[in-house]
Amino acid sequence: MLSLFERWAKSAALEVQEYVRLTMAAFRGIVTPPFYRHDIVEQFDIIGVGSLTVVLLSGLFTGAALAAQSGMTLDQFGARPVVGRLVSASMIKELGPVLTALMLTGRIGSGIAAELGSMMVTDQINALRALGTDPVRKLVVPRILAGIFMTPVLTVIADAVGITGGWVVARYQLQVNSGLYWSSVVKGLYLQDVWVGLIKPFVFGFIIVTVACHVGLRTSGGTAGVGRSTTLSVVAGSVAVIAADYFVMQILIALLY
């Protein structure tokens, strides 16, 4: 009889193996025909344009809250005018990419897991195979491409809106001159920081979509299984994003700084 830990370890190893197999199959689908261009464009619209509202709102209020709280702290050192430097560096290097990824995990990750999970329990995936269509090329590849390329775009938008929200608070609540704020924003940024803020979202987008697709395609147990997969997708995707943020940051620090 296997112990509880051995059963857990065996199950975890199987999930990792299946995740790697799905990822490798998706990479083959990206570079070899057939290509489902209509599905790719549709997913770009769903993941990119469809997530714009939640990203705008989260970025705006994150920047505003960051400016308000950091302004109170900087007052203790008489450094209120440099609030723009703190807001810009925090948003571009850390908060913008991570919060955007977490918002997408909640919105996109759960949706992908629920959609693919429903297709699994209703045998639509098997029907695709019976018709000679590869489910990975048809369903997974368009979502991965959309996640990889739209997450950085949404992150840049969140950064810009967050810094603007910080300016509103700095100007009208902290009474910081607008020119002083924006000059501080520019002075607080370095080229390495911009690269960090642009590279992270590519990794996060890949992680969010591949985890959601893997969980969705492993769904079983009817509608209850779809609910479990949706929850698991959000939890696993969020933890993976936060863990990847640390490791990617360590790699980028070693390479760029």
The CA radius of gyration of the chain, in Å to the nearest whole number, is 21
Structural domains in the chain (count): 1
Domain that holds residue 130: 36-215+224-256
Percent of the chain topping pLDDT 90: 61
Task: Note whether residue 3 is domain-resident.
Answer: no
Query: Is residue 2's pLDDT more than 70?
Result: no
Residue 15 lies in a domain: no
Note the pLDDT of residue 100.
94
pLDDT tens, residue by residue, 42-81: 999 999 988 999 999 999 999 999 999 888 888 777 777 8
CA distances 111 to 64, 105, 218, 219, Å, are 29, 9, 15, 14
Reported pTM = 0.91
Residue 243: the pLDDT is: 95
36 secondary structure, DSSP code: -
Using pLDDT thresholds of 50, 70 and 90, give the confidence band for residue 146.
very high
Q: Is the dihedral of CA 91, 94, 97, 103 positive or negative?
A: negative
Q: How far apart are CA 82 and CA 60, in angstroms?
A: 19
Inside any domain, residue 56: yes
Q: What is the per-residue pLDDT for 178?
A: 87
Q: Determine, yes or no, domain membership for 122.
A: yes
* Domain presence at residue 49: yes
